Chain A
Amino acid sequence: MSNNTLLEARLVSRTDKAVAVRTHALSKEFSGRLVLHSLDFRVDPGELVAVVGKSGCGKSTLLRLICGLEKPSSGWVEVDGERLNGLSRHARLMFQDAALLPWKSVKANVALAAPRKSLRDRVAEDALQHVGLRDRAQEWPSILSGGQRQRVALARALASDANLLLFDEPLGALDALTRLEMQALIERLWLERRFSAILVTHDVEEAAALADRILLMEGGRVTFQTTVSLERPRDRASAEFTALKEAILERILGRHA
């Protein structure tokens, strides 16, 4: 119990560290093909923004630019008021594949992200506790299920003091039930820690369930956005939820005209 409150205190103190993201006329070109068209985009501190769109619309590229894995062809990215040059120290990217090191135990995988080496073990255990995998700490990643691996990846991001989490369809390869569980977990962690987050997904329901704001990307541009003001946790059966989902789907499928 006392251990728990200690943890809460530590987590709450993180709240004010969430960072803002802005992109200024951000463009990216791959061998002559324009993937992002002069994008102006913003995420407020502690906001969870979902980006939806068909494959190839540039949403993954946007995330890679924001965390600094790619350089913009023109324009720039600003994280926490600073113009990004190289890798961002705030951002952590989660892929569809958990990208765990198979030769390290679950705990060692999480521990490698901890910024202070002296506290690595404790931080890793705390983080694993948060995703409900404390008792699997000594296992090899290869024996975990896909959902468990993504939980470990999530724990790793938590252990690294991330202020900005970029999710690149992290739940895309999971079965429907596991996906619901993971969505609930992501929402809970986000409510506890209030990091800023960008969730790239092609699952409109996932976007509607988790996001404060939903952007639709088409051909490298944001063509539609809407703020979601439904109460959390969202009732997926409610009329408002369904209406929101339908509205976005119709935009995507181009039936709005």
Chain B
Amino acid sequence: MAAESIAYRNRWIRLAAPWLVPIGLILFWQIFAVSGLIPHRILPSPVEVMQAGFHLTVTGEMPAHLWESSQRAVIGLLIGGTIGFVFALLNGLFGPAHLVFDSSLQMLRNIPHLAMIPLVILWFGIGEPAKMFLIVIGVFFPIYINTVHGIRSTDPKLIEMGRIYGLTPWELLFTVVLPSALPSILVGLRYALGIMWLTLIVAETVACDNGIGYMTMNAREFLQTDVVLVGILLYALLGKLADTVTQALERWLLRWNPAYR
């Protein structure tokens, strides 16, 4: 009985524990803001930020920006991820392709993709293609590198087993190689999502006329610190949401693996 109640309490403690720090911080923040220790223009109180967020939602301004940003993020991720995945298949499966392409790609990887911004603006101006291009390059590398790594670290014994049992090359790819690479591919996806948001923020802040980045930069000009904070918190939420979704995906796709149960 006692052991049961401890286990029960443990479950609640485990659910609550990750929230302690954020909630504590917000409480502190509220107390400081209300007491007037921090000037309003530097840091409005959490309640004010929430009000600003509510207001922006009701007017439809924030949902519109959110929609624009998400669209950019998802399309960029799909394009960059697909290119990365196809290159990874090519270079992971065929030795000669790896020999020809990999060292060049590794060289390009060492250029921080945000350093390309001036060049990208020269090429594409400040329109949609520029932002898309940056996101595509940003997500390409984590997907590419992790997929290649996953494919190349497939257990050779399993491939031999598949060949002995007469699997065709397609069957080998889909029943042996790709499932074996999947944990690595998903790690790549999580990295890519992080980079996707980062790139989006920077791209929208540099030059844009919609999106969350634009919303915050615009608010800065009007000294609306609360709106800036809404934007920042929104990024945090979106990032966390993307990560939670991938983690759930990981747990489901890798349920055969004791490490993910």
Contacts and interface: CB of A to CB of B under 8 A. Distances in A.
B179 A101 contact: yes
A112 B175 contact: yes
Interface stretch (B46-54, B96-104, B135-143, B163-171): B163-171
B158 interface: yes
Contacts of B254: 103
A142 interface: yes
A131 to B, nearest CB: 17
Contact of B167 (A69, A89, A97, A112): A112
A52 interface: no
Interface string B232-246: 000000000000000
B158 A99 contact: yes
A160 interface: yes
Contacts, number: 51
Given A95-B157, A101-B176, A112 B165 contact: yes
Interface in A103-147: 103-104, 112-113, 115, 140-143
A91 interface: yes
Contacts of A184: none
Nearest to A102: B256
A103 B165 CA distance: 17
Given A69-B160, A140-B256, A156 B165 contact: yes
Q: What size tier do the contact residues of chain A reach?
A: 20 to 34
Interface string A63-94: 00001010000000000000000010101110
B256 A142 contact: yes
Nearest to A140: B256
B163 A101 contact: no
Given A87-B164, A156-B165, A99 B157 contact: yes
Nearest to A153: B161
Contact of A89 (B158, B160, B166, B176): B166
Interface in B203-261: 254-258
Interface string A194-208: 000000000000000
A158 to B, nearest CB: 12
Nearest to A92: B164
Interface in A146-182: 156, 160
Contacts of B160: 69, 93, 99
Contacts of A142: 256-258
Contacts of B158: 99, 101
Contacts of A87: 163-164, 166
Contacts of B257: 102-103, 142
Contacts of B256: 102-104, 140-142
Contacts of B166: 87, 89, 115, 160
Given A102-B257, A142-B258, A67 B164 contact: yes
B165 A92 contact: yes
Given A99-B157, A102-B256, A142-B258, A91 B179 contact: no
Contacts of B255: 140
Nearest to A142: B258
Which of A69, A95, A112 lies at the interface centre, i.e. has the most chain B CB atoms within 10 A of its CB? A112
Given A69-B163, A99-B158, A143-B258, 12 more contacts: A67-B164, A87-B163, A87-B164, A95-B161, A99-B157, A99-B161, A101-B176, A103-B182, A103-B257, A104-B256, A140-B256, A160-B165
